[in-house]
Amino acid sequence: MSITFLEVKEYPDTEVQKNQVLTLEEWQEKWVSRKIGFHQEQGHQLLKKHLDTFLKGENGLRVFFPLCGKAVEMKWFADLGHSVVGVEISELGIREFFTEQNLSYSEEPMMEIPGAKVFKSSSGNISLYCCNLFDLPRANIGKFDRIWDRGSLVAVNPGDPMADIMLSLTRKAFANLLAVLSYDPTKHKFFFTLFLFYLGPPFYVPDAEVKKLFGKLFTF
């Protein structure tokens, strides 16, 4: 499997980003206070542009949405006949997804993770887990054919084992469409602070870091 990177300038000094990650409580508060500028009501342009390449004409795929929020793209995949699984710490965000997409759903506690819940569409092809992403592997949710990551790798602390969890959830022949940002964190500290206050991170994740995390599976 191969992955292509855009030619962008790298900024090796990312020390300014360390330990700036938001707590789970702060993420939940952003949903309550409506500081959710990261949500895209019309869906992500990157996914729209590369959707056919991403799916490769395959049917009945299992698609994983890490830190899914209320992403409208989950409905897109479900309507195409795929099974969607997401994980999100905000119960409010999950409920808003089902309400805004006019989907009936059920909810039940997760015995494997105390305090966590899973919300399932009545059609059975969308399951959203309300819990810490790093606890999710304990739920034995199976393997995935596709991962659409438009905001999780840039939201977790740079030292967290995000890639290890993603790889543990994938089948051998999988595809991961990953959206990251390119900016110089040493020159934009003020704007980064504003992002933290209003949106939460996006951390700068250079191509070199992506290759380090996923390179053993890809040919560049």
Q: What are the residue boundaries of the structural domains of the chain, listed by start?
A: 59-179+197-215
Cβ atoms of residues 43 and 101 within 8 Å = no
Q: How many CA atoms lie within 13 A of 37 on its CB side?
A: 10
Q: Which of 22, 1, 44 is nearest to 179 (CA)?
A: 44
Task: Tell me the pLDDT of the chain (220 aa) as tens digits.
Answer: 434 333 344 444 445 555 556 788 888 988 999 888 788 899 998 899 999 999 999 999 999 999 999 999 999 999 999 999 999 999 999 999 999 999 999 999 999 999 999 999 999 999 999 999 999 988 989 999 999 988 787 777 777 777 888 889 999 888 888 876 665 555 555 444 444 444 445 666 666 767 776 765 544 3
In 48-139, at which residue ranges do the beta strands (DSSP E only) sit?
Answer: 62-66, 83-88, 105-109, 117-121, 126-130
Would you say how long the chain is, in residues? 220
Distance between CA atoms of residues 166 and 215, nearest Å: 13
Question: Which parts of 2-59 fold into alpha helices (H)?
Answer: 24-32, 45-55
Give the distance between the most distant pair of CA atoms in the chain. Answer: 48
pLDDT for position 201:
52
Amino acid at 13: D
pLDDT for position 199:
47
pLDDT for position 21:
66
Distance between CA atoms of residues 43 and 76, nearest Å: 9
Give the CATH H-level superfamily of domain 59-179+197-215: Vaccinia Virus protein VP39 (3.40.50.150)
User: Between helices 24-32 and 91-100, what is the axis angle to 10°?
Assistant: 40
Structure tokens at 197: 């206050």
